[in-house]
Every structure is written in C-alpha cells, then in structure tokens.
Structure 1
C-alpha cells in the first residue's frame, strides 16, 4: 500500500524534471556557447566568404557560363582553375573538387563540395565509421573521411607539389563544406604529416577552412591542429553538434527533430567529465568561428557577429532545439551571412583606409595572439586530463617537435 502511494509522487517528480529539462533546452541558444569568446578580426575572417564562393563554384558545370552564381558572382577567374575532378574521376572515393590558383591572394586552393543527396558513394564515405575505429597521430578520426582524404592526397600529391614549387611564396589552402569539410580537415592533417612530399617545410603555409564540418576527430587532435584548421559554424547548425552516428541522422531525416530531441536528452544525462575523458568521442575540428545572427526571444535576423576561440570544454557539445538547425547548414546561407559579417567588420574597422605597412603589423600581432591562445588551449587540455593532450612545450607547433613531426609523423598511416 505504501509503495502504491509513492507512485503518484514519483510520477510528479519525473514530470517536473522533464518539464524543467525541456524549459532549459528551449531557453538554450547557440549564442550561449560563444558568448565569452573574442570577436574575430577582418584579417582572420576575410578568406571565409571568398572560399565559400569557391566551394559553390564546384557545383557549376561551366564556370564561364554559371547557372547557380550567388549575387555578385563567384569572384574568381575561370581561367585560373587549374583542374577539376567530377564524380567519374573520383570513382566515388571523394566528392568532386577543384584546384584554383588565387594569384590575388597568393594562394593555392583545393575546394571540395558537400554531400550530394543523390549519390550513394557520398553516403558510403560519410557512414564508413565506427567508434574508435581509426587512430591518427595519437588520436581518433572518422574512418571514411580519412580514407577519402588519403586518396585525394595520393591522387593530387604530384600536382600540388608542382604548384607549390612553381609558386614558392603561395600558401596551400584546403576548403570544403559539410562532407567536404570533414574531408579537407583530415586532408590538411595528412598534408601536415607529409609536408616533405609536397615540398613544404613550414607548417604555417598549410591552412584549412572547414565550413559546417561534421565531427571528425578526437578532442586532443581538434586542439593540437587549431593552428592549421579553422571551422566556421553558422548559429544553430546541427552537424557540428551531432555526436550520434551520422548513419542514424541520415536514416532519420524524415523525423530529424525527434532524433535531435533524443540526442539532447542523452547529452544532458552524460556528465561533462565523462565526455572529456572519452578518447574516442569526436569533435568539430580546430579553431572555431561562430557566426551569430539571432537572439533569444527575438524575431528575425540581426547583423551577424563572428566570435572565435580554441575552446576545450563547451566545444559545441549540445544540440540546439531550433527550426533553423538544418537551414543554417546550407552553404548558400553561410556564404551570405559571412559576407554580411565581413562587410560590417570592414565598415566598423575602416580597414580600407589602413596603410599596407600597418596591415602587416596587425597581421603579425594577430598571429602572436592566436599562438598564445593556442598554447592556453593546450594547457587547458592538459589540466583537464584530456587523453593524449600535449603541453605547448612538447607540441610540434611550437618549435621542439617540428623536425620530429616532419620526419616521422607519417609512419602510422604508411605514407
């Protein structure tokens, strides 16, 4: 009898707990994640809209007669496209991509398009992964994306080497969206580990911009490669926050809100310490740039603000219950909002009136700030006992392991 009397009380407690959780989740917005991050500067964010347009250009069949060009066009010279690879040439091992010689910005860009919903091979790459299946450079990475990245590297290594040799002052940039973002992220890591094959000695000449990336590497790698890899996320984008198997996501597109709610509940019940100590848990890679354009309890879009950091804990760990969770993933919206954000930065900063010498000083100052922030993130990772996290004094970005990394870093994958 006493047990039966307790049942209504337990039900009330359970209902109150569920109501409290739903209320907290409804109040939780993407702006909370980056509210304490610093603001991005013009110098560091300037490549983002330009690279978004270059990724969009991969979708065109004929760049001389574009069909899907955004307002203002792609802003590229079609004659500077060095090569293009379509689905037939990649044999389904990777999504289509192009290599573009950006002479105006002294850059060699390899741009990879995102997932094609009509291509089974794209799903095969994305879904080829099991938890903790593949190790790379002391951490864990997405298996299918790593295999795609290794294939692209082997297929285009000689081409890239010749371009780097012909343009010794140019940087080498990898850029991609969604599935392509995960591919270029791991491609950049493979390139860093095999710089001698590309004829590049300085790690700083390799850059990566992952637009709306999938979670593809363990936390220690995400922090350690933050000097090379940059991830750009628009407000509530679901993919960089998706910790569940991507296979479940794409099988459940017809009921994605239901899946996201279940994932929210699961993530809420897992202790933060347990998440951080899991060496196989994958994260969004590198330095994060968060474009925030909506505010809680407000209608419509506001002037976008770009915040940036190299976070360790609180790294896009929670799904945001939002009607924009899928639309914020679209490359068209990201290009549009990133360009708006850059225009606002230029207007506020007056960068167009800054002399060239002063611009160079600002870039050097920004590089020093990023280095210090990166070191602080590495120290934070060590303090939190993140598996395989290294302190700045022993990490290859900061002098001591540079030679060791270039000579022996690729042995684990057999390059």
Structure 2
C-alpha cells in the first residue's frame, strides 16, 4: 500500500497498472489520435484485473496529455467484481469515470483483508470470511471512515440483486446504483453464493438478463413522456457525484475534496529557467526510444520522507 494522488492505493496493483501503461500507452495514443480524437477510451477488468484497470484509469485521467490530450469526459472504467484498491476519498473522487459492477453477495468488494491473505487461504476461504465478518461486527463505522489506509471498491457502484432475503430461488435481476460514502459494502454476507457470485460467468449472465429486461421495458409502446428526461437524468448523475463528494467532506474523510477535478495551479509569470527545468524533467520521463516512461511520470507525484516512505509532494511541502 502506498500514498498516491491524495489517498492510498494498493501498491502491487499500481505497479501492474504502470507496467501495462509502459507496454501499451503508445498504442492507445496512436489509435485514439488516428480515429479523430472523439472516441471514448474504456478500460475494463475482472477481480484483480479490475483493480489494475481502476488505478490505470486514475493515472490516465491525471496524465491525459501523455495519451494525446484525451479529456476526462472521454475516459471510462468498468470494474467487474472489483478488488479493494483505493482509499475512500479516491473512490468517491473518481466515481464519474469508474463504474464498479457487483453481483449480489460477492465477497471480494466487501472484505478489507489483504489480497495475498485471501488467495493464500483459498482452500479455507469460508473460515476466513467468517472471522473477518466477526471482527468487523465490533468495529464502529466512524473508526473505519477515519482509517486513511483502509481500501474500498472504486467509483460508482452498480449492485445486481437477484435473490431476496429469506426467499428461495432466483428472481429477475434488479440493478441498483449509487455512490455510497458511509456503508460502502462494509459487511461480508455469509452466503453460500459469496464465492460463486464472484465468477464472471454468473455476472455476465445476470447482467445480460437485466439488460434484456431494460430493453423490453423500453420497447413497449409509450404514449406519455418519461417522468425523468434524459438530460435531467444526466444532471441527476452529476449531482449525485457532487453530493457524494460533499458527504465525504462532511464526514471528515481524510484527504477528501469537494471538486472531482483538481487542475494544478501554475503561475503565468514563470521564469524561463523554471520552464527549462520542467522541459528537461519531461524529456527525462521518456526513454531512448521516445516512449513515455510511466514509472517516472508517477514518481513525479511522490517524494520520500526521512523514513523512506513515499508521500505526495504537496503533502511534504506543507509547513508543519
């Protein structure tokens, strides 16, 4: 785990995202530029891959200029059965570009247990989930929210519900969406489907059923105007994101901000020597073959303190 972009992220998944960008960033840039700079760039992943895709999206959103200048509005990420990979302030901050899909009782988005412990105890996973559930029962919600190093599932949540409490069998799937701040999949559900709901086959099947239900309802003959127009729904989604950011600030979530986009403020009257030093640092971030070195791009945001831990430069520059 390390600090990044004003919050904490999973160190291993971040390194994987950087490696992937080092391998494919030039291809992504070329395809986006050659196709008119108007298509959306969509990242997707399942389980651990969803964590890599989410952190890759965070990097691209902050460094879109290195991929041909793609704006934030054209970047999307779909995290299927996501792993907990970022702190709560980042999960809410990037809810407008990252969408997480969770099927019913999936255990992975709910457990804060380190990923390496989960996969090492794969053969005794029910025992581990029971112990984690028992432990989290006695941890107050306020304490969880104040924990800066606690990781969460990223972005806006789309929860597919197909079973009802104390009912047998499966029902037509219902999709619920929100940007939760407190109570964000904090409790493990002790269910016989906790592991099967993590399978991408079941998620794809139930998502397809939900989509078919949506198509059937939209294909029916409608003689009256919909209650919520498309433009109004878009404004509602934007307002939900703004309300979630304000909710995070009101709950004193560490490093939470009200605005999702933080453009770096630069002084217009910059001295030529400073411009030359910035150009030199940018040229160093490229390898001899002209490709962008994303390791150095990410390192620009970080700085090591006396104990060797990596911190954001803006955090280390603040007076104590």
Length-normalised TM-score, structure 2: 0.80
Match of 1:288, SS state, is strand
Looking at structure 1, the residues matched to 72 and 221 of structure 2 have their Cα atoms a distance apart, in angstroms, of 30
Residue 62 of structure 2: which of 193, 211, 221 is its match?
Answer: 193
The answer to whether the Cα contact below 8 Å between 2:92 and 2:155 also exists between their aligned partners in 1 is yes
Shift of 1:201: 4.0
SS in 2 for 1:273: helix
Deviation at 1:222, TM superposition (A): 0.2
Report if the CA contact (8 A) 2:61-2:71 is conserved.
no
Cα distance, 1:367 vs structure 2:
2.5
Q: Which residue of 1 aligns with 2:269?
A: none
Q: Give the Å deviation of 1:363.
A: 4.7
More helix per residue? 1
For the residues of structure 1 that align with 2:105 and 2:45, how far apart are their CA atoms?
19
Report the equivalent of 1:377: 244
User: Are 2:20 and 1:152 aligned?
Assistant: yes
Aligned counterpart, 1:268: 137
Aligned-residue offset at 1:404: 4.7
Measure the CA separation in 2 of the matches of 1:153 and 1:137.
17
Pairing of 1:7-406 with structure 2 (within 5 A): 133-167=1-35, 168-350=37-219, 363-392=230-259, 395-396=260-261, 401-402=262-263, 404=265
The SS at the match of 1:335 is: helix
Q: CA RMSD in A?
A: 2.4
Larger RCO, structures 1/2 (Cα 8 Å, 6+ apart): 2
Indicate the SS of the match to 2:106.
coil
Consecutive unaligned residues of structure 2, counting only runs of 5 or more, are: 267-277, 283-296, 304-320
CA distance in 2, matches of 1:352, 1:145: 47
Shift of 1:345: 1.2
Within 2, Cα distance between the matches of 1:403 and 1:202? Answer: 15
Count of residue pairs the alignment pairs up: 271
Structure 2: distance between partners of 1:274 and 1:157? 39
Q: In the superposition, relative to structure 1, how do residues 208 and 351 fare at CA in structure 2: closer, same or farther (>3 Å)?
A: farther
* 3-state secondary structure, aligned to 1:240: coil
1:241 match: secondary structure = coil
TM-score where L is the length of structure 1 = 0.62
Call closer, same or farther: CA 1:403–1:370 in 2, change over 3 Å.
farther
Check conservation: 1:164, 1:200, Cα contact below 8 A: no
1:352: how far off? Answer: 9.7
Secondary structure, aligned partner of 1:366 = helix
1:199–1:364: structure 2 CA closer, same or farther, 3 Å change rule? farther
